[in-house]
């Protein structure tokens, strides 16, 4: 029967048209959402775009299908009016189930006339509107794809925050760092706090899901570790206050203390010993004692700290020498000054050695955390970055023998960070010669980035980790 064939074809065309319009309007909607996000300096949210696009597609498809799907009565009326058949097709449909020769003859006549009209004029609907919609949608999609993200300052567009998942290698590296701190010569007071901060970081990172949150947690731990060491160390507070006095000898001694170099302190104490002779010895001793005492009082350092007590004892001994002007012979003066300087060398160098060790461990912890989690020093606040080797490190002891053995047992480096050589290596990126340790740190940071991206099999991570662990233990 001709009518049934036309109805099936018409139904298929309506469904195709609904799908085409649905896809077009869905693409237009998704494109508009993306364009708005880019123009309002927002991160392009692919999930939100997908939900909006699919939602509109389904809604348009359903609405168009319900509105245009051909029922028999609707289609019969359409063909009667389109081909001028009066009500022949509608009558055929209305009495399609009726028996009798008249009804049968009417149905045959209507179907015959409908077939002839279709062959003469065609029955396919015009699809121009349905083809315009995809063209518009395609244009908007191209705009959404190539439109740059607008930034208020003209800089780079916001970067999507990647996912973070603590790898087995990172967890083990952090546990190894905790063991390193526990076995180090770090003073017991800050050691407990540093270990607790590292354990807390490990617990936090197991539940962190984004790289930004991971970096915030690591940087917060660096700040907390620095505070633990700063609360115990006094050399910078005391040294800076001594440098702000008016006595030249105390200013130089304060600079040596602030540098955390015991050898420099010893040299300045030797200079003071030479100055404390002759007629001005007693007045010089009193002036130095007064300046040192005032600096200690105004430093805000702990009064029970080893460095504070060592310098206070030195000031007291110089005070006692100044008070003995009327009773000391020249020989007794020389001997008393020598004893005071000797005591200061021993006690101050011992105190500086302990604080130097603290600084070395601090730098090891901070740099290792940055390496493990792929964070650069520039991402830290300036006040929280590791200090240069000259302002701490392995020269804390006066004579240099104990400090080298305790801090750098078998290699070159700072604190527990031990390198296998002090050779310089050519760096093709900068065109300069860098120290062996700098090159290792740079390569390790690059390797860590690949570990964080989960691009390296776990077995390979463990192998590479063991390799760098050997390098950091002094192997070459």
Examine the domain organization and report whether 140 and 191 are in the same domain: no
Domain of residue 60 covers 2-146
Question: Rounded to an integer, what distance in angstroms lies between the CA atom of residue 8 and that of residue 87?
Answer: 21
Q: How far is CA 336 from CA 253, 269, 282, in A?
A: 20, 14, 11
Domain termination site, one of 409, 427, 453: 409
- Tally: H helices and E strands in the chain: 18, 4
| pTM as predicted | 0.52
Residue 306 · residue 187 · CB < 8 Å: no
Say which residues have a Cβ less than 8 Å from residue 258's Cβ, sequence separation at least 6. 235, 236, 239, 240, 242, 243, 391
Examine the domain organization and report whether 138 and 182 are in the same domain: no
Residue 433's pLDDT is what? 60
Say which residues have a Cβ less than 8 Å from residue 98's Cβ, sequence separation at least 6. none
Q: Which of left, alpha, beta for 355 (phi over 0: left; psi -120 to 50: alpha)?
A: alpha
Examine the domain organization and report whether 309 and 179 are in the same domain: yes
Examine the domain organization and report whether 62 and 199 are in the same domain: no
Averaged pLDDT, groups of 10, the chain, 476 residues long: 73 80 84 79 71 86 82 77 77 77 76 74 57 78 74 57 90 93 89 95 94 94 94 92 93 92 90 90 93 94 93 95 91 94 93 89 92 92 75 38 36 45 58 64 66 65 68 54
Residue 304 · residue 333 · CB < 8 Å: no
Examine the domain organization and report whether 209 and 306 are in the same domain: yes
How many distinct structural domains can be found in the chain?
2
Residue 247 · residue 291 · CB < 8 Å: yes
Examine the domain organization and report whether 212 and 329 are in the same domain: yes
Residue 300's pLDDT is what? 92
Sign of the dihedral defined by the CA atoms of residues 466, 467, 469, 470, in that order = positive
Examine the domain organization and report whether 361 and 266 are in the same domain: yes
Question: Rounded to an integer, what distance in angstroms lies between the CA atom of residue 259 and that of residue 140?
Answer: 64
The DSSP output letter for 206 is T
The long-range contacts involving 92-98, CB below 8 angstroms and separated by at least 24 positions, are 92/3, 93/3
pLDDT tens digits for 26-44?
888 888 888 887 777 556 6
Residue 139's pLDDT is what? 82
Any domain includes 426: no
Question: Rounded to an integer, what distance in angstroms lies between the CA atom of residue 115 and that of residue 66?
Answer: 27
Examine the domain organization and report whether 322 and 226 are in the same domain: yes
Domain termination site, one of 377, 409, 441: 409
């Amino acid at each position: 029967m001709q009518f049934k064939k036309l109805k099936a074809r018409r139904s298929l065309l309506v469904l195709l048209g609904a799908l085409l319009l649905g896809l077009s309007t869905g693409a237009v909607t998704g494109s508009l959402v993306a364009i708005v996000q880019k123009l309002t300096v927002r991160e392009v949210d692919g999930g939100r775009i997908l939900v909006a696009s699919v939602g509109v597609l389904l809604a348009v498809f359903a609405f168009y299908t319900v509105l245009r799907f051909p029922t028999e009565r609707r289609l019969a009326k359409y063909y009667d009016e389109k081909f001028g058949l009066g009500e022949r097709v509608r009558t055929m449909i209305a009495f399609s189930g009726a028996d009798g020769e008249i009804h049968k003859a009417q149905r045959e006549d209507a179907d015959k006339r409908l077939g002839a009209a279709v062959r003469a004029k065609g029955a396919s609907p015009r699809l121009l509107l349905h083809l315009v919609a995809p063209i518009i949608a395609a244009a908007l999609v191209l705009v959404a794809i190539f439109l740059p993200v607008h930034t208020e300052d003209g800089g780079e567009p916001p970067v999507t925050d990647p996912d973070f998942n603590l790898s087995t290698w990172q967890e083990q590296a952090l546990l190894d760092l905790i063991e390193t701190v526990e076995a180090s010569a770090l003073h017991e007071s800050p050691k407990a706090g540093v270990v607790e901060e590292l354990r807390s970081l490990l617990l936090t990172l197991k539940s962190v899901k984004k790289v930004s949150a991971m970096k915030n947690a690591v940087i917060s731990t660096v700040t907390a570790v620095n505070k633990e060491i700063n609360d115990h160390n006094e050399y910078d507070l005391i040294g800076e206050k001594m440098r702000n006095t008016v006595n030249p000898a105390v200013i130089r001694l304060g600079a040596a203390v602030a540098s955390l170099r015991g050898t420099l302190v010893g040299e300045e104490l030797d200079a003071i010993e030479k100055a404390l002779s002759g007629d001005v010895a007693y007045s010089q001793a009193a002036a130095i004692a007064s300046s040192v005492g005032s600096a200690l009082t105004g430093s805000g350092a702990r009064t029970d700290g080893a460095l504070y007590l060592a310098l206070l004892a030195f000031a007291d001994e110089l005070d006692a020498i100044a008070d003995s002007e009327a009773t000391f012979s020249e020989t007794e003066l020389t001997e008393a000054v020598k004893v005071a300087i000797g005591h200061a060398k021993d006690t101050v160098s011992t105190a500086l050695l302990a604080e130097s060790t603290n600084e070395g461990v601090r730098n090891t912890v901070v740099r290792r955390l940055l390496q493990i989690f792929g964070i650069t020093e520039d991402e830290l606040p300036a006040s929280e970055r590791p200090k240069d080797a000259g302002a701490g490190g392995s020269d804390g002891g006066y004579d240099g023998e104990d400090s080298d053995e305790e801090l750098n047992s078998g290699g070159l480096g700072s604190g527990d960070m031990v390198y296998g050589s002090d050779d310089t290596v050519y760096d093709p990126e900068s065109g300069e010669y860098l120290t062996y340790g700098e090159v290792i740190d740079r390569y390790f940071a690059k390797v860590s980035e690949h570990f964080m991206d989960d691009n390296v099999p776990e077995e390979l991570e463990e192998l590479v980790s063991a390799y760098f662990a050997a390098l950091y233990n002094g192997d070459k």
